[in-house]
Amino acid sequence: MIQSVPVSAEMREAARLEAARRRAYIVQHFQVGHFGQADTDVLGFLGEFAARQFLNIPWRSGIREDYLVPDSYDLLVAGLRLDVKTESIPRERLEAVVRGIVPRDGLYASRWVNVGQASLLTKYDAVFFGAVARIPVDEVIEWFPLGWIPSHLVAEHSVVGRGATAAFAIPASDLNTPASLQALLDAKR
């Protein structure tokens, strides 16, 4: 069974509001071709909210008072600092990615961390990856946890792309399961 986290209309509305509030102070690292910057920002907040839900944390608990400075991590759970990365994947490929049945060299077989964010990896203990169907962000109704990796291992992976799009490519087989993150955090609580 594929586990997903429901994304409510309230979460989508809050994500759009928080993205607009943050945009006034903080410029994000990158933009993807299939979404504008505003929707890319909203997707990031949706992922953070859904990750909280997945980890049994009230999703609203991460909404900040202000965004005058960038945060050091997305979630702090049981002393563990997490960065959440959410990507959109075309619907016709999403199920295979979530089930982990994409060949190691196949399309969407790896999770990416932008090389421009390498210096930030020391601020996190782990990077937690998730995905949504590539549809308009205002229509997203579920988020899929894909796995996690200790942040110090990210830079050991191959770099794909170049310039602003260069990223560490982390094969799905190198990720720990979402359930193992839940278990680790439960043991620390």
Say if CB 21 and CB 67 are below 8 A apart.
yes
Closest CA to 35 of 21, 22, 19, 53: 19
Residue 34 banded pLDDT, cuts 50, 70, 90: low
Cα 38 to Cα 19, 27, 49, 143: the distances in Å are 7, 11, 17, 19
pLDDT digit string, tens, across residues 110-148:
999 999 889 889 999 999 999 999 999 999 999 999 999
Beta bridge partners of 70: none
* Structural domain count, the chain: 1
- The 10s digit of each residue's pLDDT in 54-107 is 999 999 997 877 767 777 888 999 999 999 999 999 999 999 999 999 998 899
Which pLDDT belongs to residue 116? Answer: 87
CA dist., res. 1 & res. 145, Å (int): 13
Specify the pLDDT at position 138.
93
The residues facing 150 across adjacent strands are 126
Cβ atoms of 5 and 145 within 8 Å: the answer is yes
Domain range spanning residue 67?
Answer: 5-188
Residue 42 clears pLDDT 70, i.e. is over it: yes
55 neighbors 148 (Cβ within 8 angstroms):
no
Q: What is the pTM of this model?
A: 0.91
